[in-house]
Amino acid sequence: MYCLDTNIIIDCFHGDEETLKYINKIQNSEIKITSITLMELYAGCAVYEKRQKMYALIEEFMSTIDMVDFDKQTCKIYGDIYSFLRSKGKISEQQDMMIAAACIKNNLVLITKNKKHFQNIPGLKVEYC
């Protein structure tokens, strides 16, 4: 099972050929997103000049994909990630650590283009597109 990072979804919305080719390779697998990813999509959309078009893309996309929520156990995993990265002096963006926690809790492989934010997170299965 896979989980798409926000940057992957945005690239798909924009028709990025490399990203679409990668997604096509895994299309027969179960693919999910996190509630944090959806939050990031809506936040980006709210400041986008063509926001109605982007809202429509998000709604269409969400009708075809399952979402993983951020629950109590995921919160604990997030705390562990934060503590570990802080001790190493390598804190990532808060939302990225939350996405990583949801992936770890749900045994999902994260698909992202953002190696810097995820490479130091222990226990995270990740593929870089």
Domain ranges of the chain: 2-128
pLDDT value at position 108? 98
pLDDT value at position 63? 95
pLDDT value at position 128? 95
Q: Which residues sit opposite 127 in a β-bridge?
A: 111
Q: Which residues sit opposite 66 in a β-bridge?
A: 32
pLDDT value at position 48? 77
Mean pLDDT by 10 residues, the chain (129 residues): 97 95 93 97 87 91 94 98 96 95 98 96 96
Are 39 and 79 a contacting pair, CB within 8 Å? no
For domain 2-128, give the fold.
Rossmann fold (3.40.50)
Compute φ and ψ for 4, nearest 5 degrees: -90, 130
Compute φ and ψ for 92, nearest 5 degrees: -100, 175
Task: Give the DSSP letter of residue 112.
Answer: E
Q: Which of 75, 65, 70, 8 is nearest to 39 (CA)?
A: 70
pLDDT value at position 27? 87
